[in-house]
Amino acid sequence: MNPIDDLFAILEALGRKQYGETTVSQYEHAVQCAVLAERGGAGPTLVTAALLHDIGHLVERERYALIERGEDAQHEQAGARYLAQWFGADVTEPVRLHVPAKRYLTVADPSYAARLSPASTRSLRAQGGPFAPAEAEAFLATPYADQAVALRRWDEGAKVGGVAVPSLDQFRAHVAACLRQAAAV
């Protein structure tokens, strides 16, 4: 199989289970997130990052025991490492930074913090809680912070049950464009 088929097979086979305490599966969450990125005018790299941002939950499933104990499973790190096989930093860094972006947004935007799902609120505590002001400032200076913040907003909005989602094939061209870009580097 090629990398796109491999990634889509993971989402199809392992992503059909419920996504935490939400009313959507991990597959539905991934696709909803990518749809929101497209609607937000994101380019191929950020749409791809949105689609694959939680792949770390699926490729390192043994980390669920950490989550069940209320610990940080660092799925964003696992996902970024896994995706680095095929993608450059323009995809992997927003994935790696989407949890720090949550920590940033809970400080920078009180309305965002109020909209967190109960599961996101609990995981925020395990992930270190909201950033202190100096941490927030340092995060903003990080390359790809803006992309990670956009991804995080779509992430939180992509937990709507009962919504029909398109096929993964809708995103194949985006993912393929990113593979070519990474290979050219």
Three-state DSSP at 151 gives helix
Q: What are phi and psi of 17, to 5 degrees?
A: -80, 160
Bridge partner residues of 18 (DSSP): 25
Instruction: Read off the pLDDT of each residue in 30-35 and give the average, rounded to a whole number.
Output: 97
Domains within the chain, CATH numbers bracketed: 3-184 (1.10.3210.10)
CA distance 59 to 63: 9
* pLDDT(181) > 50: no
* pLDDT(70) > 60: no
Three-state DSSP at 144 gives coil
Annotate 166-182 with b (16+ C-beta within 10 A) or e (fewer): eebeebeebbeebbebb
* pLDDT(76) > 70: yes
Cα angle for residues 146, 150, 154 (degrees, 5° grid): 165
